[in-house]
Structure 1
Amino acid sequence: GKFALIMFAALAQLERETILERQAEGIAIAKAQGKYKGRKPKELPDFLEIYEDWKKKKISAAGASRALNISRSTFYRKVKEYEDNLIIDL
Structure 2
Amino acid sequence: MKTIILVTIVYLCLLSGCSSSRHQQLTELGFERAYLDGYQDGCYSRTVAATTHQNGFRRDPERSMVVTKYRRGWQDGFDHCYSDDRNTYL
TM-score by shorter chain over 0.5 = no
Tell me: higher relative CO, structure 1 or 2? Use CA pairs within 8 A at least 6 residues apart.
2
Q: Give the TM-score, by structure 1 length.
A: 0.31
